[in-house]
Structure 1
């Protein structure tokens, strides 16, 4: 995975603050405060990038923050860069697992590889 920084716009809304990514239509987040909205934006970005990669959608290169144009009717509170992880290409690996553990994984996971990758990401996030 490669770290990328996508520009995001935080706007004032009727019930808090919304975040949208001009380079990634449909990628949005929100929060009760500007700080909360900015923090939630990273989770939204990484989820969006993962889904794009899963479906084989091309992930665009991020625009320069100062090059992003916003509609005049948007109540912009802040322009920020949000860190994301651009998923890399999948690499086939061979691992060994105890058969009972593998059976338990198969009972709860529709996709073994995705399950193991998600578990690894969660554990690595705890280590950061």
Structure 2
């Protein structure tokens, strides 16, 4: 996937601001143009991850031309950030985790009390911390 980003030019005093028009609420900044683009990639990945955690749809990227004429972006620079589509993959993968026995015992007790499997309990904790909401 390739998301267009709008970059507000910076200078020696001001950061380069970045907005992702296709992902409302997704923005970032950087001290240089290159840093702003790299920070945008991270912001997009985190934003999409949060949408998925909340069960929200991920808006598809639109072409740059769909946004260029918008008045709020006059004078801004446009770039495109490639996002690995694998980050949208919810396919289950088996992993090996090493934990101290006392931690594993605590984890198993908590999972049992919650009526969940160990894996399900860990996954739910990871998704809920921090909890996000869908942006409409």
**2:24 equivalent to 1:25:** yes
Larger Rg: 2
Mapping for residues 1-128 of structure 1, pairs under 5 Å:
4-12=1-9, 15-69=14-68, 70-72=70-72, 74-76=74-76, 78-86=77-85, 87-92=87-92, 100=100, 103=104, 106=107, 112-113=122-123
Equivalent residues of 1:15, 1:32 under 8 A apart: yes
Q: CA deviation at 1:98?
A: 5.6
SS of 2:22 mapped into structure 1: coil
TM-score by length of 2: 0.63
Whole-Å Cα distance in 2 between the matches of residues 35 and 114 of structure 1?
A: 36
Alignment RMSD, CA only?
A: 3.4
Unaligned runs of 5+ in 2: 108-120, 127-136
Structure 1 residues 25 and 99: CA distance shift in structure 2, 3 A:
closer
Structure 1 residues 67 and 104: CA distance shift in structure 2, 3 A:
farther
Unaligned runs of 5+ in 1: 117-128
SS of 2:6 mapped into structure 1: strand
The structure with the largest strand share of the pair is 1
Structure 1 residues 68 and 113: CA distance shift in structure 2, 3 A:
same
Q: How many residues align?
A: 110
Whole-Å Cα distance in 2 between the matches of residues 39 and 94 of structure 1?
A: 30
Partner of 1:122: none
TM-score by length of 1: 0.67
